Amino acid sequence: MSDTNTGPVSETAMITVNGLSKTFRTGVGRATVAALDDVSLVVEAGSCLAVVGESGSGKTTLARIIVGLESADSGTVAVSGRVVAHRASRRELRRRASEIQMVFQDPQSSLNRRLPVQTAVDEVLRVHTSLGRDARRLRCSELFALVGLSDEHLRALPEELSGGQRQRVAIARALAADPSVIILDESVAALDVTVQGQILALLDELRTAKGLTYLFITHDLSVVQLIADQVVVMRRGKIVERGATADVLGRPRHPYTQLLLACAPRPGWKPQRGVIRALREEITS
């Protein structure tokens, strides 16, 4: 059930991805694997689109191409209606970074463990704003307050903060560039469930307050339910289903979406070998 229809061309699209394909070579042999196969989607301004899939679905490759960390073999990415180049120049990357920021699963990757966490935020302010030193210090403090941290956290080293606090720093860092879009790549996956809820609530507040657009990469359907308006389901580089969150989660049409839902732990749920096997057979048939 291949679905390449992105719906009517939207005036309010923040991100438009059209026919994106990407092939990776595996190892030294000639074998190639399609990480993305003709993927098209639209993220409306101010909305949150969740991209759901398991490992190998291509969801992270999609995110990396949109921010410019990776180039596609074919297809286009447009941000605010402007098509961005395949192989981006430094200048283009900087421009894109002021529009799109990314928050990763592990904030350690964007924080230097030897430096106070405010340096990570300050660095972004230095690159993306013309603020002087004192103004940047003030802005750091404002950004920390915005994500629920206090001034005493500014000078802390990453290891002195909890996982949730570090992820708040990563969000402050993303906000420092004043982007219109934040790509969240499994940004709450490594957190304890009670902390997860707090970070999702924070992200939701920020989206409303600042009119942000989110592309949320996740494997967790509970996270989708909590934060996304729209969802696309990916499997082996292809989008197999898309729609409003309540429709896709409540009335899934593709057997792969049904399989994901049949396997998602929730109150009263039991894993059933028979159901899983039957759905897997339906997918491959």
Partner 1 sequence: MMLDIRSLSLSIAVDGGPKEILHDVTLAVGRGEAVGLVGESGSGKSMTLRSVLRTEPRNATVTGAIALDGVDVLSLKGEPLRQLRAHQIAMIAQNPHAVLNPVLPISRYLVEGMHDAQGLSVAAARLRAGELLEQVGIDGVDRVLASYPHQLSGGMLQRVVIAGAIAGKPSLILADEPTTALDVTTQAEVMAILDDCRRELGMALLFVTHDLDLAAAVCDRINVMKDGVVVETGVPDQLRDHPAHPYTQQLMDSRPASIMWSPSDGSGE
Q: Which residues bind partner 1 (CB under 8 A)?
A: 54-55, 163, 192-197, 219-222, 225-226, 246, 249-253, 258-273, 275-276, 279
**Residue with smaller CB distance to partner 1, 90 or 270:** 270
Q: Which residues of 72-108 are buried (b: 16+ CB within 10 A; e: fewer)?
A: beebebebeeeebeeebeeeeeebbbbbbbbbbbbbe
**Residue with smaller CB distance to partner 1, 93 or 283:** 283
Nearest distance, CB of residue 147 and partner 1, angstroms: 19
Nearest distance, CB of residue 104 and partner 1, angstroms: 18
By CB atoms closer than 10 A (0-12, 13-18, 19+), residue 265 is: exposed
Nearest distance, CB of residue 197 and partner 1, angstroms: 4
What is the distance between the alpha carbons of residues 78 and 14, in angstroms, rounded to a whole number?
A: 8
**Residue with smaller CB distance to partner 1, 77 or 191:** 191
Nearest distance, CB of residue 284 and partner 1, angstroms: 13
Nearest distance, CB of residue 99 and partner 1, angstroms: 31
**Residue with smaller CB distance to partner 1, 67 or 231:** 231
**Residue with smaller CB distance to partner 1, 53 or 68:** 53
